[in-house]
Amino acid sequence: MRILMIAPPGAGKGTQGALIAAHFGMPHISTGELLRDHVARQTALGQAVRKHLDRGELVPDQIVLDMLREAMVAAKAAGGGFVLDGIPRNMQQARAAYEMGRELDMTADVALHLQADDGELVRRLLARAALEHRSDDTADIIAQRLALYYEVTSPIVSWYRDRGILVSVDAMRSAQEVGREILAALEAMRPLLDHVPAQARLSIDLTGLGEAFGATGSPVGTSD
Ligand code: AMP
């Protein structure tokens, strides 16, 4: 399966991305992790992007698109599946990722949209800050990252809805509950993907399901 995730900071894309990747045995491609690794190793790239990460700003598109191409080529050699975490982050990246996918014959099957309220996102990120000491998990920078998400990332959701590959999930519940729902939806879709062309698919909204089935678990901290 070829999956990309769109989610505000704190919604759990790191946690759910790792779960999906482990479940389907495919690479978890996290641009944030790759960039933080460069910063930690103090590579030339790490030094160039550090200030963007510290300020909660996006790094230049070409840097993450080069990373994406390298990771997609490796994913193709490893069987063709992947789960993207943190990219695309704006419309230009979404278009470029689509072109790259067409060129490599590996466009995304599913755009997974994780939804959660700002209050919950801020609570989770501040809780994570106490544990992980990420330079961008401070109150000011969290506010900046959320604002950027609404300004440039969330508009790409409708593009995936129009393509018929959007699956929206309520991420306000525990990581376990959200993970179970995502895996069940993906498992149900998997046999259809090879047979139903993307143009003939309909987007799926699972955000009302938790309530319908009486999910009560309180949300827990997640990693993004
Ligand atoms: P994340 O781990 O996804 O929250 O990303 C952490 C930081 O890495 C972001 O705040 C950006 O500075 C940078 N970053 C990650 N992915 C991208 C991307 N696709 N485009 C631009 N910047 C990114």
Residue 157 resides in a domain:
yes
pLDDT at position 34? 97
Residue 222: pLDDT band by 50, 70, 90 thresholds?
low
Q: Quick one: DSSP state of residue 218?
A: P
* Cβ burial 36-48 (10 Å sphere, 16+ → b, else e): bebbeeeeebbee
The token pair that represents 21 in the structure block:
């990747």
Please name which of 174, 123, 128 lies closest in space to residue 182, comparing C-alpha atoms.
174
Verify whether ligand 1 is closer than 6 Å to residue 32 (CB atom): yes
Residue 189 resides in a domain:
yes
Ligand 1 atom at minimum distance from 60 CA: 21
Q: How far is the CA of 157 from the centre of ligand 1 (A)?
A: 17
Mean pLDDT, range 196-222, rounded to an integer: 62
More confident residue, 205 or 39: 39
Give the whole-angstrom CA distance, residue 160 versus residue 10. Answer: 21
Q: How far is the CA of 210 from the centre of ligand 1 (A)?
A: 29
pLDDT at position 218? 44
Please name which of 19, 20, 37, 13 lies closest in space to residue 153, comparing C-alpha atoms.
13
Give the whole-angstrom CA distance, residue 74 versus residue 138. Answer: 34
Residue 83 resides in a domain:
yes
Q: Which residue has the tokens 């769109």?
A: 6
Ligand 1 atom at minimum distance from 86 CA: 3
Ligand 1 atom at minimum distance from 33 CA: 2
- Is 163 buried (19+), middle (13-18) or exposed (0-12) by CB count in 10 A? middle
Give the whole-angstrom CA distance, residue 142 versus residue 133. Answer: 13
Mean pLDDT, range 150-173, rounded to an integer: 95
Q: Which residue has the tokens 């030339």?
A: 44
Give the whole-angstrom CA distance, residue 117 versus residue 121. Answer: 6
Give the whole-angstrom CA distance, residue 25 versus residue 97. Answer: 22
pLDDT at position 206? 84
Q: Which residue has the tokens 């790792």?
A: 18
Mean pLDDT, range 114-134, rounded to an integer: 93
Domain count, the chain: 1
pLDDT at position 207? 85
| CATH number for the domain that contains residue 181 | 3.40.50.300
Residue 131 resides in a domain:
yes
pLDDT tens readout for residues 5-45: 999 999 999 999 999 999 999 999 999 999 999 999 999 99
Residue 224 resides in a domain:
no
Q: How far is the CA of 26 from the centre of ligand 1 (A)?
A: 21
Q: Quick one: DSSP state of residue 153?
A: I
The token pair that represents 23 in the structure block:
């479940």
Q: How far is the CA of 56 from the centre of ligand 1 (A)?
A: 8
Go through the chain and tell me how many residues it has: 224
pLDDT tens readout for residues 41-83: 999 999 999 999 999 999 999 999 999 999 999 999 999 999 9
Verify whether ligand 1 is closer than 6 Å to residue 93 (CB atom): yes
Verify whether ligand 1 is closer than 6 Å to residue 35 (CB atom): yes
Verify whether ligand 1 is closer than 6 Å to residue 9 (CB atom): yes
Say what the pTM is.
0.90
Residue 31 resides in a domain:
yes
Q: Domain range spanning residue 17?
A: 2-210
Residue 95 resides in a domain:
yes
pLDDT at 220 over 70: no
